[in-house]
Structure 1
Amino acid sequence: MIRHAEAMELTAFENARLLDLLRALTDEQWRAATECTRWTVRDIAVHLIASAQAQAHPTEFVRQVLAGRRLSARIGATHWVDGLNEAQLRARTAWTGSQLPALWQQHAATALAARRRMPAAIRALPVLPLGTGLGVHVGRQPLSYLFDMGFTRDVWMHRIDIARAAGTTPELTAGHDGRIIADIVEEWSERHGQPYLVTLTGPAGGVFQKDDGDHQTVDAVDFVRILSGRADGPGILRHKLPL
């Protein structure tokens, strides 16, 4: 599993990767629909920037959570995070695509600085009611679950969403993307507890095994899309992992 110091380095690199992608988008690409229900490319970018604002400032984090809870029932949300995400978008309707790269650069840097300096004792507090999603019970988690890699996984997955919607090829490397995916595999494996042999193909891939179980071969990025509920998969890939 990825620990705090490594997580912060991966986060800095991932933030830069997303910035490069956002800077290259056209007006048409900002309006493109994504695999995230009801969200355009612009909406995903707004969500990520709002999330960075919340990471940097505890009062903003609480404000977004409370606003989301008020919205959850009205939008038929199945999880409190759905209401929070909706609140983020509704509070930022004036933001245009052309503004978003600079906003991401600014707030991602502030969020990373806050995450780097968060004391270990605070990161260890088991105060996150992540509950159940995609049929997986995650349960109460320490703050580090989100503030180390959780938010970074979100950025990574949404960078893939944006690239797919925009019709571009996401930049992928073994040292960066492969490390993030290996960390996801580790948690996924622990949560479902079943034997498997999974071969992930592509530049971010690898071979992962727990005893001699179900054998599956799939593209590494598609593997994470399947785990996150964006696509379906056979056999051992039926086990999901909320990202």
Structure 2
Amino acid sequence: MTDTAAPAQRARPIDRTAAATLAAEEYDRFTELARSLAPEDWHRQTDCADWDVRAMTGHVLGMMDYVSSVRQFLHTRRAGSKAAHGRPVIDGVNEVQVTERASLTVPQLLDALARTAPKAARARRRLPAPARRIPMRVEFNGIWERWTLGYLYDVILTRDTWMHRIDMCRATGRPLRVTPEHDGRIVADVVAEWARRHGRPFTLVLTGPAGGTFAATSAGQHLSADAIEFCRVVSGRGAANGLLGQPVPF
């Protein structure tokens, strides 16, 4: 655990350089985990009710393809919009990604991850400034929010892959590789957004290698949790109460 106090509402944002480093490292870690799986692991149920490990990996690969080319991005958005049928578009996008990769064998899936991960990391890093400012309307927690493409590329896509790596470790019993420099930076950013979204005073002590002590003020609710479990809860996994009921997009 890192015990340095960090005022969450003043946490340093993840800039483009840091975002690129985190994205590339997370893709590498996810690919490494997938390669370590035994044949029986691929059909284990994950915390995402509709996905086993195989489907979840197809989704992550689909997201890599999604950002690797404009053509794939547009195709997935169009197909996802049609597949959504009144649900949030992201649900349709996820469904299309899994369905379109369901015919890949496990060796083909692993090969595609290895090929596509560096391409996706480069594409995200090279997204030009004008494109980064493109606005997006996204439905989150029943509310329409205004995001930017830069926020999606720099923050959300890394959180998504990271959380699915956690899901897969939980499903298969594989150890989760956690370091303060990588996972701790992702956790701190999640805490900062969680704090901005609820806007109330708190002290939060997160344990484990990715943890730390975060405080908006010395008053308010005092919370303590494992760092990974905190992120699972605010992502919508696990029981939540009080300020932990404030969700954060992943």
- What TM-score, normalized to structure 2? 0.91
Select the residue among 178, 187, 193 that pairs with 1:172.
178
Which of 81, 84, 95 aligns to 1:69? It is 81
- Cα offset, 1:121, TM superposition: 2.1
Aligned-pair identity (%): 39
Question: Secondary structure in 2 aligned to 1:86?
Answer: helix
Identify which of 191, 212, 233 aligns with 2:197: 191
For 2:222, the aligned partner's letter is: H
Partner of 1:95, secondary structure, is: coil
**For 2:144 and 2:212, how far apart are their aligned partners in 1?**
25
| Residue matched to 1:130 | 138
Deviation of the 1:234 alpha carbon: 2.6
Match of 1:228 in 2: 235
SS, match of residue 175 in structure 1: coil
Distance 1:12 1:87 in 2: 24
Paired AA for residue 232 in structure 1:
A
C-alpha separation between the residues in 1 aligned to 2:207 and 2:193? 19
The structure 1 residue matched to 2:34, chosen from 22, 25, 28, is: 22
Tell me, in whole angstroms, the C-alpha distance in 1 between the residues paired with 2:246 and 2:101: 35
Report the AA paired with residue 234 of structure 1.
N
What is the alpha-carbon distance in structure 1 between the residues aligned to residue 144 and residue 120 of structure 2? 24
Query: Offset at 1:93?
Result: 1.8
- 8 Å CA contact retained: 2:28, 2:117: no
Structure 2 residue aligned with 1:80? 89
Residues 1:210 and 2:216 are matched in the alignment? yes
C-alpha distance in 1 between matches for 2:214 and 2:155: 20
Q: Higher relative contact order at CA 8 Å, sep ≥6: structure 1 or structure 2?
A: 2
Task: Tell me how far 1:230 sits from its aligned partner.
Answer: 0.8
Cα distance in 2 for residues equivalent to 1:93 and 1:132 = 27
Task: Indicate which of 12, 18, 21 corresponds to 1:6.
Answer: 18
Deviation at 1:187, TM superposition (A): 1.0
Point out where structure 1 has 5 or more consecutive residues left out of the alignment.
Answer: none
SS of aligned partner of 2:181: helix
